[in-house]
Each structure stands twice: as C-alpha cells, then as structure tokens.
Amino acid sequence: MKLLVTGGCGFIGSNFIRYWLNRYPTDKIANLDKLTYSGHLSSTKDFVGNNNYSFVKGDICDPKVVDKCMKNVDIVVHFAAESHVDRSIIEPSVFVKTNVLGTQVLLEFALKNKIKRFHHISTDEVFGDLSLNSKNKFNEKTCYSPRSPYSATKAASDHLVRAYYLTYGLNTTITNCSNNFGPYQDPEKFIPRAITNLIADQPIITYGGGEHIRDWLYVEDHSRAIDLVIKKGKIGDTYLIGGMHEEIDNLKIAKILVKSFGKKGKYIKFVKDRAGHDRKYAINPEKLRKLGWHPMYKFKPWLAKTVDWYKKNEWWWRPLKIKAEKLYQRTGQV
C-alpha cells in the first residue's frame, strides 16, 4: 500500500510517518511538504534513509505537483496546514490560501486519481470555545463556531471534505483532534516554548493569567487514532480525538514544568492575552472509543518524557528557537 502524507515535515505529520513506517514496514510513504516555518527536514532525519520513504518539496496549492504526487497512491493523509493562531491573526490571507484552497486542490486530484481514501486532519478549534466552568464537551454533532482566522479556515476545509464525499462520492474521513504535545514540536508552541525557555534559564511566557484549558493529546496517541479510523472508520464520518484524563490549565502546566526543572524564584511571566483567545476545549471521544481506541499516554508522565527529549535534542530545536521568538516580538508578547 502507498500513502501520500501532506505536511509530513511538520510536528504531527513527521510523528505520523515515523509511527506508520515502524508499524507497517512494507508500506510506502511519499511526503509532500512546502517546508514553511513549521516544516523541518531535520524532523525526518531518523527515517529519511528508509527505502519505503520519499520526499517531495512542493505546495499543496500547485495542481501539477499534487496531480503528480497522487499517482499510484492508495491513501492520502492530509496534515498540511497553516496552524498557529498567532500567525493567523497577523497574516490571515496565508491561512485562507493553504488551508482552504490547498485542501480543495488535494480533493480535486484525489477524485481524479481515484484515491481509495482521503483522510483529513482537523482541529477541535472549529467548535469555538467553552466557558472555564463548563462541564460540556465537544462531540461530532457540536455546531461549528470558529473564533480565529486559523480555526475559520480549518472549518472551511472540513466542509469542503464533506462536500466532496456527498457531491462526488470521494471516500473521506475526518478527525478533529485536541492540542498535541510530544517530540519535534516547534518551539513557538506553548509547551515546547516553555520547555526550551527553562532550558535556557528563561521564564515561561503565559498569556493572561494562564487560566486557559486545553485537552492535551500525546502525539503518538493521535497517530494511533488516525490509523484506526483509516482501518475501521465509516466512510464520510467524523471522529473526535481527545487525550485528557483530567482538566488542566496552562498555569498548572507552567508550574509543573518549573518544578520539574528544580527552578526557584519567578520563572512564570504573564503577558497580555491574545486577541480572541479561546478559553477552554474539551472533547468527548466516545465515538472513537467504540471503534476500539483509547489514549495510552497520560499527560504528566509523558510531559516529563517530552521535557527529557528536548533536553537531549538541542541540535533540533536550537536553530528554530530564534525564528520562534521573532514571532512573539512582532506581537509584543515576549
């Protein structure tokens, strides 16, 4: 079997390729990635020499590149997206082009090339947010209510995928995941930024009062869920992937990290909150559980393992750290 993975040099995409090559060593994977700020060839260093892996540098908005990459492919797993909310506030047009137009181009050529399955990776952010004291959780029937340019473009891409299933009969599935964490995550995101700041003896930067709550999912649990949906998911359906066993806000995460480093004093710095910052995400993954999935990796022990990975792999994140901090200098949140 041959897979085309879009955005396979990004955080989740590279971890998925690593997972798939280990679990299905006879399958072939082609990785199509534009290598933007979030795509790093260094994230593929450990499997780039695998004979069943190939890399194509290209844009999902380019019809010629996409058409060529779709030849003889069985499954498309579509990760490629502009995904950082802060960046979407600064440059929303870039997000519209990649996340909406890029997805449409992929769908069009998946249809043309008779792809057996088109699996689309989306986010729980399309559902908007919950109040901090809410006991509600997102599920597959939750109405869309995106609150940032990023989540609005991901919502649009979800609708396009469903339209190609309903209108043209393309075999599609969608997963909406919660916030991921783990190795190879760019240091501009909250958890790796916090970890790398502490390694550099700098404080953790926290928006507002750190009250925001996320449903954290270890990245390999995400790969396992995608695998299961591709194998057993119902064509045309959507599945939500959430990993938390308990609610935890960003301030508590910051305190856990500071304590794990044995730091004393003020290592948490509060800055002005982000515009339109969603307060809380929570997922009910019951539909996915009925397929046989459950999260294997609990948050606190795998956060500790993630810290250990960043300590041992400065070669990977040090070159990216300067660019990451420039983003926050632009927004004044440093």
Mean pLDDT of successive 10-residue segments in the chain (334 residues)?
Answer: 98 98 98 92 97 98 98 97 74 90 98 98 95 93 94 97 98 97 95 97 93 94 98 98 85 96 90 82 94 94 98 96 72 55
Phi, psi of 230 (to 5 degrees): -60, -40
- pTM comes to 0.95
140 within a domain of the structure (yes/no): yes
Is-contact 210 144, C-beta < 8 A? Answer: no
Strand ranges inside 148-302, DSSP E: 172-177, 180-181, 204-207, 217-218, 238-241, 268-271
Residue 90 pLDDT:
77
Please tell me whether residues 307 and 168 are part of one structural domain.
no
Q: Which amino acid appears at position 78 of this protein?
A: H
Q: What is the CATH number of the domain that holds 259?
A: 3.90.25.10
40 within a domain of the structure (yes/no): yes
Residue 197 pLDDT:
96
Strand ranges inside 212-282, DSSP E: 217-218, 238-241, 268-271
284 within a domain of the structure (yes/no): no
Instruction: Round to the nearest angstrom and report the end-to-end CA distance of the chain.
Output: 46
Cα separations (Å) of 172 from 51, 61, 98, 160? 28, 19, 19, 11
Residue 218 pLDDT:
97
Residue 219 pLDDT:
98
Q: What share of residues in the chain are helix, strand, coil (percent, to 5)?
A: 45, 15, 40
Active site residues: 124-125, 150
Residue 101 pLDDT:
97
292 within a domain of the structure (yes/no): no
Q: Is 231 exposed, middle or buried (CB count within 10 Å of its CB: 0-12, 13-18, 19+)?
A: exposed
Residue 82 pLDDT:
82
Cα separations (Å) of 312 from 7, 59, 97, 183, 213? 25, 32, 37, 11, 28
Domain of 317, in residue numbers: 182-213+245-275+298-325
Residue 89 pLDDT:
78
Three-state secondary-structure class, residue 117: strand
Name the one residue in this structure whose structure tokens are 């609990």: 298
Three-state secondary-structure class, residue 38: coil
154 within a domain of the structure (yes/no): yes
| Tally of domains within the chain | 2
Q: Which of 138, 294, 126 lies closest to 215, judged by CA?
A: 138
Residue 200 pLDDT:
95
